[in-house]
Amino acid sequence: MIAFVFPGQGSQYVGMAKDLSVCAKDLFETASEILGFDLAKLCFEGPQTELNKTENTQPAILTVSYALLREFSVSGISPAYVAGHSLGEYTAALCGEVFSFSDAIRITRKRGQLMQSAQPEGKGAMAAVLGLDEETLKQICESIKNFYVDLANLNCPGQIVISGEAEGVRKASELAKQKGAKKVVPLQVSIPSHCMLMKEVAQEFGQFLRSFNFNDSKIPIVSNVDAVEVKEAEAILNAFVRQLYSPVRWQDCVKYMISKGVNTFIEIGPGKVLSGLIRRIDSSVKIYNIENLEDLNNVKKEVSG
């Protein structure tokens, strides 16, 4: 049984999808028209600083992932489940035909803008903590007084991201090292994603989402928020809103799909982040990665054969 998974923010790089420029020309043109700038040029040529701006990154990764998905879908290989890491959940919804590609561009652009505006520059921070379990890290976050910090991404065994006010993240990071964390890596972001500092913009985002037509998904989407499958339009919309201020339970999402019989994961989109995480969650499953046309043709042969 196969699952398609889609990467989130942080997987972008200049030059991604360059070999898709001809076959995905229509998608890049549609996205560029909506965004008001040449998205293909930004993806293929950069500069990286512009590509890294959240409001640009989100529609860029979505377009590249969807372009690869569309090309791969021609092979007739279809998933039993889909899932995405944070932003990747929107590509998963596109795979399930929950909304149109143009609506997905508008939604991810707005999502990026709202996330960027949620906190003043420098107030929020995130850090990856390696080598501590969820319970220990949760207790550390709760012990920090006067500054807010919480768990944001439960990625795989021994890798949890914390998010919150910059000082709260700094204090929790220090305490995590004292409690035996192998390493703490501050993330190069100014946005404290997937924590309660996003609650206010999440409400505005929910109102924005209601201006679009959502369909029930044709494929079960395993939601980041609860790590269970959702198909109904209303449940998907609600999960998108909650996802902004709730932790991404990626490890639980992968375990859920495996418990349902998934033994093959195909990561579709830039980078190989999810493939690495899945390997650490369960090394017995088959994992493929598609981030260019060469990968796409190789995986077609492997999976079909």
Evaluate whether residue 191 is within a structural domain: no
| Catalytic annotation present for 246 | no
Evaluate whether residue 136 is within a structural domain: yes
Task: With residue 204 as reference, give the H or E element that holds it.
Answer: helix 199-209
Chain-centroid distance, C-alpha 71:
20
Question: Distance between terminal CA atoms of the chain?
Answer: 15
> Which of the listed residues 186, 206, 233 is the one where a domain comes to its end?
186
pLDDT per position as a tens digit, 113-167? 999 999 888 899 999 999 999 999 999 999 999 999 999 999 999 999 999 999 9
Q: 282, 293, 291: which is closest to 11 by C-alpha?
A: 291
pLDDT per position as a tens digit, 36-71? 999 999 999 999 999 999 999 999 999 999 999 999
Domain that holds residue 239: 2-118+196-304
CA angle 13, 83, 285 (to 5 degrees): 90
Evaluate whether residue 218 is within a structural domain: yes
Q: What is the CATH number of the domain that holds 137?
A: 3.30.70.250
The answer to whether 92 and 3 are in contact (CB under 8 A) is no
Same-domain status, 112 and 209: yes
Pinpoint the alpha helices (H) of 74-100: 88-95
Domain count of the chain?
2
CA angle 97, 218, 12 (to 5 degrees): 45
Catalytic residue, chosen from 32, 65, 86, 217, is 86
Same-domain status, 163 and 283: no
Evaluate whether residue 41 is within a structural domain: yes
pLDDT per position as a tens digit, 209-268? 999 999 999 999 999 999 999 999 999 999 999 999 999 999 999 999 999 999 999 999
Q: What is the CATH number of the domain that holds 45?
A: 3.40.366.10
Strand 149-156 to 159-165 pairing = antiparallel
Same-domain status, 223 and 271: yes
Question: Structure pTM?
Answer: 0.96
| Catalytic annotation present for 86 | yes
Same-domain status, 147 and 230: no
Catalytic residue, chosen from 11, 163, 193, 194, is 194
